Amino acid sequence: MSSSDDTLPHPQAECSSPPPNQSQSQIQLPLLIHQLSFNQDNTCFSAVTDRGFFVFNTEPYRPLICRDFESGLSLLSMLFRFEVFVLVGSSYSPSPSAAATNTKALLWDDHASRCIGELSFRSPIRSIRLRRDTIVVILLHKIYLYNFSDLKLLHQLETTSNPKGLCEVSQISGPMLLVCPGLQKGSVRVENYGSKKCKFINAHSSNITCLALTHDGRVLATASSKGTLIRCFNTLDGTLIQEVRRGADRAEIYCLAFSPTAQWLAVSSDKGTIHVFSLKADSVVLGDDRSTSALESPLSNQSALSSLSILKGVLPKYFSSEWSVAQFRLPEGSRCIVAFGQQKNTIMIIGMDGSFRRCQFDPVNGGQMTQMEEHNFLKQEEHFPSWNEDS
């Protein structure tokens, strides 16, 4: 290996140094949130702060874990509901000796309160994705895949500059499908480890800024730096399934999320509006035998078109775009991520301001969603009356 992004020679099965020192003292407000993420089935979400991390159950909403690490964290990845996390130390510490701690990924066994493995790199880790059998580490120009059980390097990929650490992997058992930015602007690399084939999809003319993948890996959603159009592709053959429009103005897309059957797609952006789109991608996920629930809504893909779609080919493409079925409005600039809930026609919204919301949308009439509940997960004196004690 010769690139500056290369791993150090020997990833270790046991940590050569302890993880950030745990403190029993209570975290003092205000907290700075570095990362928010849902687990693979949306039953939990985590919040990484400058002093540690929280994990919450989503349905019902309740606190699960709170951990205080004095030197802080920048990234965390959890695997479903297992008590093994991959932690990346923070580079924001004022201590010069901690300036490069975000080059190490630590496997943390929370049940045993100890580090059980370590992966070291020569450049900062941008993100991490987990499967039951694989750890995927994303750097600026490279992606590394490791066997979860023994940290053996399985594969490495080169990407275009990837500061956001964009990468998604399939979650069903069997060979993995991985998507990440390609080597050209606007392209997505689809790595199918089952067929051992690599495909490149020219998704956009500008840089890719957000990706989402269905659990089985068959459908990919992409957004670009323009943030106006979201495109869905069949990963098996690279064909475009559908194109939906978030809006006319440029926007930064924060999150794309599929519902379990790919009947719906949720989108959040810096415009402050959460959109839910009706998709026809579920026919790819489920085959020709589409679910009854997918057919019972009169809001078909055609009826979700602009009323001016009859003039398609005469008026600009904008007028014939497919628009969202349902929306929920937050203050403009609110940074948040979204996921679909276990309850039918619900989405969950977690924000960098510490907010958790659950909303319900009407699949028949569409329009504004109804907020069902709201919490502030940074109120740890309310959520964690006994420090470091799991609920």
pLDDT of residue 8: 44
Residue 302 has pLDDT above 70, yes or no: no
Residue 55 has pLDDT above 80, yes or no: yes
Q: Is 264's pLDDT higher than 90?
A: yes
- For the segment 357-367, the average pLDDT, to the nearest whole number, is 94
CA distances from 30 to 25, 52, 252 (A): 15, 13, 26
Q: What is the pLDDT of residues 73-110, one digit of tens each?
A: 889 999 998 888 999 986 544 443 443 468 999 998 88
Which of 10, 3, 2 is CA-nearest to residue 153?
Answer: 10
- pLDDT confidence of residue 94: 42
Contact call for residues 154 and 169 (beta carbons, < 8 A): no
Structural domains for the chain: 31-122 (2.40.10)
Mean pLDDT, residues 13-35 taken together: 58
Range in 85-94, 142-151, 230-239, 361-370 the model is least confident about: 85-94
Q: Is the pLDDT of residue 18 over 70?
A: no
Max mean pLDDT among 236-250, 275-289, 308-322, 343-357 falls in 343-357
Quick check: pTM over 0.85?
Answer: no
Taking phi over 0 as left and psi of -120 to 50 as alpha, with beta for the rest, 129 belongs to beta
Q: Which residues of 298-333 are buried (b: 16+ CB within 10 A; e: fewer)?
A: eeeeeebbbeeeeeeeeeeeeebbbbbbbbbebeee
Tell me the average pLDDT across 310-328.
Answer: 63
List, for residues 120-145, the tens digit of each pLDDT value. Answer: 999 999 999 999 999 999 999 999 99
